[in-house]
Amino acid sequence: SQKIEQNSEALNIQEGKTATLTCNYTNYSPAYLQWYRQDPGRGPVFLLLIRENEKEKRKERLKVTFDTTLKQSLFHITASQPADSATYLCALDKAAGNKLTFGGGTRVLVKP
């Protein structure tokens, strides 16, 4: 069956360091992958989208990689700040239709 795995353990990191999150998937051939941020008591907010033919995507202090051979995406937050503390979700689609399947999310806590 199709599976999306994110590290369920919280990631504690010191301010200024780089946080790296992983998203692994099995039995999937996604056309693209998205990353969302979710703060407590709020809905997820879109951050980045990367397509299957793209290796890397950047947006300000965020960087996403997509390795379809390893079936893995890495999400990096560089120069992390306490305001980056949140849960980060990866989501995969299928080429047909606009249905997304979400991973369980990884909580990030940036300490000052």
Partner 1 sequence: DAGVIQSPRHEVTEMGQEVTLRCKPISGHNSLFWYRQTMMRGLELLIYFNNNVPIDDSGMPEDRFSAKMPNASFSTLKIQPSEPRDSAVYFCASSLRGTGGGKETQYFGPGTRLLVL
List residues binding partner 1 (CB under 8 A): 31-32, 34, 41-46, 49, 51, 89, 93-105
**Least Cβ distance, residue 112 to partner 1 (angstroms):** 27
State the Cα–Cα distance between residues 66 and 9, nearest whole angstrom: 22
Nearer to partner 1, 8 or 81 (CB): 8
Whose Cβ is closer to partner 1: residue 20's or residue 101's? 101
Closer residue to partner 1 (CB): 80 or 91: 91
Minimum CB separation of residue 50 from partner 1 in Å reads 11
For residue 21, the minimal CB distance to partner 1 (Å) is: 15
- Tell me how far apart the alpha carbons of residues 26 and 45 are, in angstroms, rounded to a whole number: 25
CB of residue 14 vs partner 1: minimum separation in angstroms?
27
